[in-house]
Amino acid sequence: MTTLIDAGLVADHNAQLATRLEADYEALGGMLARRGQDIEALTALAQRFAVAVPSWGVGTGGTRFARFAGRGEPRNVFEKLDDCAVINELTRATPAVSPHFPWDRPTDAKELRQKADDLGLAFDAVNSNTFQDQQNQEHTYKYGSLTANSSATRAQAVKHNIECIELGRELGSKALTVWVGDGANFPGQHNLRGALERYLDSMREIYAALPDDWNVFIEHKLFEPAFYATTIADWGTSFACATALGPKAKCLVDLGHHAPNTNIEMIVARLAQFGKLGGFHFNDSKYGDDDLDSGSINPFQLFLVFNELADAALREGPAFKPAYMLDQSHNVTDPVESLMNSAVEVQRAYVQAALVDRAQLAELQESNDVLLSAQALKQAFRTDVSPILAMARVRSGGAADPVACYRASGYRDKVASARPAKAGASSSGIV
Ligand SMILES: [Mn+2]
C-alpha cells in the first residue's frame, strides 16, 4: 500500500498536539459523562463515519464566468485519486471516491481499481454526464438528453448511462447517480408532461441494466441550466419517478438543489419514512446551487439533517444506509483543504446528532414541552465535539489537525512541480 503523506510526519504532528488534545478530550469527556454520555462510544462512532469524495472536487472549480486554476491540479483520474488518498490519509473519514464519466473514464478499469486499492480507496456511486456534449458525440444534448424529443438522442444518453454501470461494476461501485439538466428555458419550449414521460421511458431502460445489488440515485435540482422548468426539479418529482421505477431507484438529496429556506431535514424525514432516501451530496449554500464547503454557511441545517438521519437509523436499524458523498466546487481554496474540512464538518454533524438523547426528546415532545425539546437539539448542536473528531482521527492513523499537517507536508508544492498546468485538463464540474 502506498502512502502519500509520510507516516513519520503525521506521527510527529500528532505528538506535538498530544498533550493539548488529551486535556481537551478529558475535559469534554467529563462534561459528557455528567450528561450521561460516554465519550469513548462517541469516538468509536466517529471512527466508523465515512463520506465519499467527488473526483471532480479535487480540481479547482469555477463559475459560468470564469475559472481561476489552482497550483498542481490533477490532470487525470490517477492524479485525482492521489489527492483523494491524501484527504483520507489525514482525515480517515473519506475511504471512497465517487467518479464521474466520461471525465474519469479510464482506458483500463482494472488498472484504475488497482491504483485505488493500493491507495486504500474504494469507489462509491458513479455519476453519468449527459449535461454536456463530448467530443465526437453524434447527437447533441442541447435540447435535452433522457427527455430529448429525438429518440436517437435519448438512446445515446441511455447507452452512456449503461456504460457507466458497466464501468462502475469493474470498479466495485454499487450505484449510479443520474442528474440531468434537462428542461425548458421558455414557456412553451416543450411539453412539461411529455418531457417527464420520456424521462421515465429512458430511465426504465437504465433501470433494467442495473445489477441485482445496485441502486440508481435520482438527483433533482431546482433550476439551472433549465431556468424556466427543470424536468427533475424537486424531491416530489424525484420521489414519484423513483416509485414508478421500482425498489432499486432512490432519491439523492443535494443540499444546494432546493429553493431558498426549504426545510431540507423534513424532506430527509419524508424520504426515509417511505424507503426512498438513497443518499446525499453534501455542500452548503447561501443562495442556490452554490456548492460551498459543507458546514461553512449553515451548520445548524447540516446538524438537523443528521438529527433526522439518527432518528431514521433508530427506526430502520442497520438496513438504513444512505450514501454520503460530498459535492462541492472549490474556486478560491486548495480543494484538498476544503474537502478535508468539509468531511470533518459532516462528521461533526453526525457526532453532534448522536448527542441527542432520543428517548428524552420523545418524552419532551409527548408532553408538548416545546422549549425544552428545542433546547435538547440546541444543546447537542452547541457542544464542541472537536476533541472527539481529532481523537478519532489520531486513533485511526490520521492527523489531529489535517490542514496543519497537510501544509507541513508540502504536498501542494510537490504536485505543483510534478503537474505543470495543462489547459482544460482539470474537468472540474459543478453538479
Ligand atoms: Mn450534486
Interval 296-314: pLDDT, tens: 999 999 999 999 999 999 9
- In angstroms, what is the span from residue 135 Cα to ligand 1's centroid? 24
Interval 277-300: pLDDT, tens: 999 999 999 999 999 999 999 999
- In angstroms, what is the span from residue 160 Cα to ligand 1's centroid? 19
- In angstroms, what is the span from residue 80 Cα to ligand 1's centroid? 18
> Looking at residue 421, what is its pLDDT?
78
Interval 42-90: pLDDT, tens: 999 999 999 999 999 999 999 989 999 999 999 999 999 999 999 999 9
Confidence of residue 255 (pLDDT cuts 50, 70, 90): very high
218 Rama class: left (phi>0) / alpha (psi -120 to 50) / beta? beta
- In angstroms, what is the span from residue 254 Cα to ligand 1's centroid? 5
Q: What would you report as the CA-atom Rg of the chain, rounded to the nearest whole angstrom? A: 22
- In angstroms, what is the span from residue 353 Cα to ligand 1's centroid? 23
- In angstroms, what is the span from residue 327 Cα to ligand 1's centroid? 5
- In angstroms, what is the span from residue 230 Cα to ligand 1's centroid? 15
The secondary structure of the chain in percent helix, strand, coil, rounded to multiples of 5, reads 50, 10, 40
- In angstroms, what is the span from residue 10 Cα to ligand 1's centroid? 32
- In angstroms, what is the span from residue 163 Cα to ligand 1's centroid? 20
Range 399-404 average pLDDT: 98
Confidence of residue 169 (pLDDT cuts 50, 70, 90): very high
- In angstroms, what is the span from residue 282 Cα to ligand 1's centroid? 8
3-class SS at 64?
Answer: coil
- In angstroms, what is the span from residue 100 Cα to ligand 1's centroid? 11
Cα separation, 199 vs 234, whole angstroms:
15
> Looking at residue 423, what is its pLDDT?
60
Backbone angles phi, psi at 235, to 5 degrees: -70, -25
Regarding the domain delimited by 50-348, which CATH topology (the fold level of the hierarchy) does it fall under? TIM Barrel (3.20.20)
Range 97-106 average pLDDT: 95
Provide the residue ranges of all domains of the chain, joining segments of one domain with +: 50-348
> What is the torsional sign of CA 233, 236, 238, 240?
negative
Interval 312-356: pLDDT, tens: 999 999 999 999 999 999 999 999 999 999 999 999 999 999 999
3-class SS at 322?
Answer: coil
- In angstroms, what is the span from residue 51 Cα to ligand 1's centroid? 14
Contacting residues for 353 by C-beta, under 8 A, at least 6 apart: 303, 306, 307, 309, 310, 380
Range 152-168 average pLDDT: 98
Across the chain, mean pLDDT equals 96
What is the share, in percent, of the chain residues with pLDDT greater than 90? 97
Q: How far is CA 47 from CA 3, 94, 281, 322, 358, in A?
A: 19, 11, 21, 18, 22
